[in-house]
């Protein structure tokens, strides 16, 4: 596999399909509620270790992240909802010392369970759900050619790229394009429309461009913006009131974005989308741009574990949730130990985001884990998903030890 633009977000090789066990939450659409580990059938000792290890990630002079939020549970029971560290710790990055410039304690902003985060590539999951909603309605064909909906995207049309290939990163499109360097919307659009696959369709290359094309397709098909499709089709019916495209002024800070380590010179970011291309596109993009909280993402996970319903709301039919999560997954990565740890292996699904966000839902055990962190504050570092995998392993062991 060729190197990827954001290696911390890669899926790894596409795994072969394997049979799935029935989801534990399929018969229940109960809303989430706090409860004890014992009530959820989880081992309290393992969950205590999970929380302690997440707290440790935010300590020291060079923490994995200045702050983090972890929310986890089983079935409709939230057994962990904890925050650690700082939503805002630094005023800038000092390239001379390669360290963050610490804010005085009175100006730092503590992390809370309700702190919103820039989700980065977790946005792709919402775009994928919006696409599968159209497939369920019969207005979009999963194996239809993109050119049937976007004939003006000539390169993709000529190469026969399909909707399924966009959703599974097998279109052959390269990982990224410098849309942020284009002078205006017209030139950005022209660059995207002319982009041809760098490999034959069917070639796996993790690519933001897949979800930018999918956004254009959905907007052309429905006559509505992606932000409206996500709001009306997902977040509003589920009561996810903290999930929206930015700006989001109270969010955890991300990066002191400056060249040469970034692709733009914007200074310390808080509440503005971190992804340079998403920012160039006005903050609403198929691959990045959403902000959300741990609790809202727990609702999203619970909905999918319950077969597409949450309380009285239904956003997808059970068969279409199955389509979404069956290997290799549509938008979702499936069974990837590099960030799912020991939860991987029987159909666990999830994703990571470049800013430090991740979620995993495991239909086999009816469990979910949301780990949100601002790992790019005050500047991006080489990716390290070891802590994500370790947290997921703690949850898997909590199931087995109960």
Q: Where are the domains of the chain?
A: 7-130+227-401
User: Residue 26 CB: number of other CB atoms within 10 A?
Assistant: 17
CA distance 57 to 218: 39
pLDDT number for residue 165:
98
Low-confidence ranges of the chain (pLDDT < 50): 1-27
Which pLDDT does position 354 carry in this prediction?
A: 98
Domain spanning 7-130+227-401 has what CATH number?
3.40.710.10
pLDDT at 29: 62
> What's the pLDDT score for residue 20?
35
């Amino acid at each position: 596999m060729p190197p990827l633009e954001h290696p911390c977000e890669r899926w790894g090789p596409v795994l072969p399909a394997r049979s799935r066990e029935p989801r534990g939450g399929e018969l229940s659409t109960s809303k989430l509620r706090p409860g004890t580990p014992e009530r959820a059938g989880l081992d309290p000792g393992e969950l205590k270790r999970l929380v302690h290890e997440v707290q440790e990630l935010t300590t020291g002079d060079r923490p994995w992240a200045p702050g983090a939020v972890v929310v986890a549970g089983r079935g409709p029971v939230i057994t962990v909802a904890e925050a650690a560290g700082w939503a805002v710790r630094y005023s800038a990055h000092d390239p001379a010392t390669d360290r963050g410039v610490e804010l005085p304690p009175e100006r730092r902003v503590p992390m809370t369970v309700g702190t919103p985060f820039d989700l980065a590539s977790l946005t792709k999951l919402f775009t994928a759900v919006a696409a599968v909603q159209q497939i369920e309605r019969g207005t979009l064909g999963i194996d239809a050619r993109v050119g049937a909906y976007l004939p003006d995207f000539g390169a993709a049309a000529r190469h026969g790229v399909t909707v399924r290939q966009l959703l599974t990163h097998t279109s052959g499109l390269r990982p990224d394009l410098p849309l942020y360097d284009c002078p205006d919307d017209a030139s950005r659009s022209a660059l995207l429309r002319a982009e041809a696959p760098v490999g034959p369709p069917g070639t796996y290359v993790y690519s933001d461009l897949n979800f930018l094309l999918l956004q254009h397709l959905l907007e052309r098909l429905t006559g509505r913006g992606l932000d409206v499709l996500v709001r009306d089709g997902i977040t509003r019916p589920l009561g996810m009131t903290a999930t929206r495209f930015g700006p989001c002024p109270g969010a955890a800070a991300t990066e002191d974005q400056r060249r040469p380590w970034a692709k733009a010179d914007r200074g310390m970011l808080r509440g503005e989308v971190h992804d340079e291309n998403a920012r160039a596109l006005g903050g609403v993009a198929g691959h990045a741009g959403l902000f959300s909280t741990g609790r809202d993402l727990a609702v999203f996970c619970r909905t999918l574990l319950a077969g597409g319903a949450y309380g009285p709301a239904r956003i997808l039919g059970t068969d279409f949730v199955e389509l979404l999560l069956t290997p290799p997954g549509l938008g979702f990565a499936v069974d990837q130990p590099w960030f799912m740890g020991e939860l991987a292996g029987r159909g666990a699904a999830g994703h990571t985001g470049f800013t430090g966000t991740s979620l995993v839902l495991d239909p086999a055990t009816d469990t979910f884990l949301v780990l949100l962190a601002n790992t790019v504050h005050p500047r991006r570092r080489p990716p390290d998903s070891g802590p994500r995998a370790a947290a997921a392993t703690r949850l898997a062991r909590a199931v087995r030890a109960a």
